[in-house]
Structures are given as structure tokens and as C-alpha cells.
Structure 1
């Protein structure tokens, strides 16, 4: 063989192999094998039992939790949807929340409401995993709605969304077993963090709210310093409606109770708050954020 004649290449020692599928932050770049697929939960009408069964499959192998991929993407989408109802009386707030939450692959907004009554209807219809609830709304306020949700839909998680950092509101929310309390002046991503924390079985309170809770715990006497803490959720709702200028008859119609019951609540309110005129009730409601100036 001449010096200028190219040598034939040696035959490959191994048959050609296909390259392994490339990994991305979400796992494999291609679709996972059938045995690794987790069924999606898209319907908010699914019962709690069947939702739990899909959230915790018994015979589905999972990837290693200590994988480098998992450490890079701690909130990797697992195929399980978290259904959410958004409640706020301002449409622009609801729209903003919806856009913020639906960016997350595991979040599904399955209902919206602009008052407490619509919240109860949406929860009855959709049975969501969690409700993001504005604390100040017409036609059934946030605290009374929370109380109703706790009595009628105990499995549904509730995060209160509020502009109020008032200790009396915070104490009332804790007393009614709110799962979280997020201030509206915080960062937008905070509500995403709150939902994830609550759905893991924990609770979430904005840093400023948590600070107030600690301060209250260190000063037990402050818990009873404001008579507002003595009011029931129903009394607060009656107070808000009276302060809005509704008559006893109109309040009765609004809350589906008798006029006599409204009068009894008003008498109790004036006694507990130590006021003698309706104008004083209005000033009190303004001071505690029950109505807007």
C-alpha cells in the first residue's frame, strides 16, 4: 500500500447507538414513558377523595428526590393541579391575580367572586383546593365568609388578602382558623409562596403580619384592649352595613335575617363598643377599615 493511499477506517467495535434523551429542568426533553406519567387533574368538580387519590398515586414510580435536576427546580410541575377560587370586589385585582397565578403550571383558577355570597356559590359549585379571599367585600364580608367556609367546607384552604395590618383583623383571622394572611402591599410573588406553603399543610403570614402576631403573643393584655375583638363575624357584618347607611330592614334583607335580629345586633354593637349614636358607629367602622372613606 502506497504512502499516499488512505488507510481504511477500522470497523466500529459496537453497533450504532441512539443518544440518550437530553434532560431539561423539567425532566426529560421528550415525553416520559407511560408508567411515569401522572394523570392531570383539570376539573375543579372532582371530589376530594378522587383528588387525593390522584395526588398520591400508590403504584407510580417517581424520580429520585435528590436528583440534581430536582435541586435546580424545586417547584417542578408534577402533573397535579391546585384549583383556586379568587375573591375580590375589584375586577382589576381579580384579573391581576388570575394572570399571576396561571403562569404557574400547577395552578388552575376555576372560579372568581366579587362578594361573599358569590364565594360560597363558587365553592359549592367547584369545590376548589384553596380560596384567596379579600377581607373587605360587599354582601358578606371576608371574615364572615371565612366563618361560613370553615363551618360548611372544612377541607377548603383559605388565604386572606388584605390591606389591613390591624392587630384586631389579624387576631380575628387566626381565631377563625385562616390558613394564611397576605398583605396587598407586599410583592406579587408572595401570594404564590403562600399558596404553595398552605397546600403543603403549613400556614403563611406576611412578615409584617407575623411580627404583629409575635407582639400580641408577648403582650397578652393587648388582646382585649380593643372591643372590636369581642365582636362576632355577624356583628361586624351588621356594623359594616349600618355604617354604609342601610336601614335595619335593608340589612335584614341583605343578610337574610329578621329585622328583630338586626335590631338585637345593633343594640349589642353599641353596648360592646360603648357608643350611643349611629354616627359613632360609622366613625368606628371607618377606623377599622370595614368601609372605605
Structure 2
């Protein structure tokens, strides 16, 4: 994938069974956090957990030195808890810091803030992440830096014109070391994306028409995500269309718009934890 098979030649390995177990653990961690604060977006984080986990643990090259480490941008900043729990698992974020999420004395907010450990861009105002990624990738090309840029967007975010401007520009500039992911859960904050904007689909065809390589897969299948990205030719920027379920893993949250914002009650919390634990059997 990307160019010259750089990542294929790396010794970085990816265990999909371990990924499944991590994502279950991450969902429980996010639910734990939800019992101490209310300023969070659980369902958007749950929909992209497998994508974020696969990028960090399976695809990104890390700890190679500042100029060679791959970069991750969470353009759908409201899904920040998915990134935070992964960074905690990697030891980039301290547990005590995540424990203070959205609390006095803490530094982690509802949306990622550039300058904090592991955060490469401030996001949350939707539509900016892909443009930032294109700019970074262009700078890398000029400076002959060998790193990949990964950026995860929401499907509702694709209603921002800036995303399509960046998508049009990347192939024109000859950028290849760029991987975008659309978290296609078909829901945005207040409703179903395909009903709010029915002419939006098929996303895959539109992305290809802009000159990208693109593949659509099950966004909760870590193996499919990994194989799809690794299959890229490296001659064009690559876009993964990840079909996901908003609130994935907790049945009463799945595809229910209110869980874009809500925190579970203590009873709902116990029900969710029980369901996640039973899924390990």
C-alpha cells in the first residue's frame, strides 16, 4: 500500500484477534468514562473504533524518528474518545490524564487539541481534516519525507465542501502517501445521513471519480480494513469507505440518533457492560 511497499517491508505485524479484544476493552473504558462526565459522544466513537485501532496497531509506522513516523488525524473530532483510548493503550496518554477527561485540571476535551500527546491536529469543526492531511502530504513530498498520513472522516462531514476540494486537489498534486477513511455509519447528529442528503450516495463512486483509489469494506472487520489498505497500489491517494454501525457493540445504542450525545444511566451502563462481556464468550 502507499508507495514502494514501504509498509509491507516493515516488521510491523497485526493480530486481528487481539484487535477484537482491544476494541471490546476500549468500549468498556469509554463507558466507564461516561459515568463520570456528560460531555462526550459515545456512539460516534464506537462506530470508528475498529478503524482507529487498525490504523494505529496494524498500519502506522511508529517510533522511527520524528520525520519517519506516520501521522493520524481524526477529522471527525467528536469521535475523540476512540483516539484517546487507543493512545492510552499505546502509553502515549497517561491513564490519569484520561481519567480527567473533560474535568477541572485535565487537558483532554470533547474534541482533539493539537499539542497534546499523540494529537497532530485540532479538529471538531468538521471538514478540515482532509485539507490538513493534503497539506502535510504535500510538504512531505517537497521535503522528500517518507511517512504516511491517515485521516478519518465522518459521512455527515462529507457535506462540507472543503472535503471535496481537498479530495479533488490531492491527485492533482500527485500525492500518494495519503490514506483517508470515511466512517460510513449513515447517521449524523440529528438523523440518518441518507435521508437528509439522499443524493450523497454512492460515496465510493464519487471518490473514485475524483481520482482516488477506493475500496468499501465492513468497518468493524479489522482484517478487511487492514487488507484493503495494504492492497493499494501506491500510485494514487487511497480512500477506504468503512461501512459501520453507529453505537456498535451496545444494541440499544446502535443507529439511535439520541446516543450521539447521551450518556447512559447507571442501569443502562450495567446493561451495556454486560452485553460487551457476553460478546467475549
TM over 0.5: no
Q: Looking at both structures, which has the greater relative contact order when contacts are Cα pairs under 8 Å and sequence separation is at least 6?
A: 2
User: Which protein has the larger Cα radius of gyration, Structure 1 or Structure 2?
Assistant: 1
Which TM-score applies when normalising by structure 1? 0.34
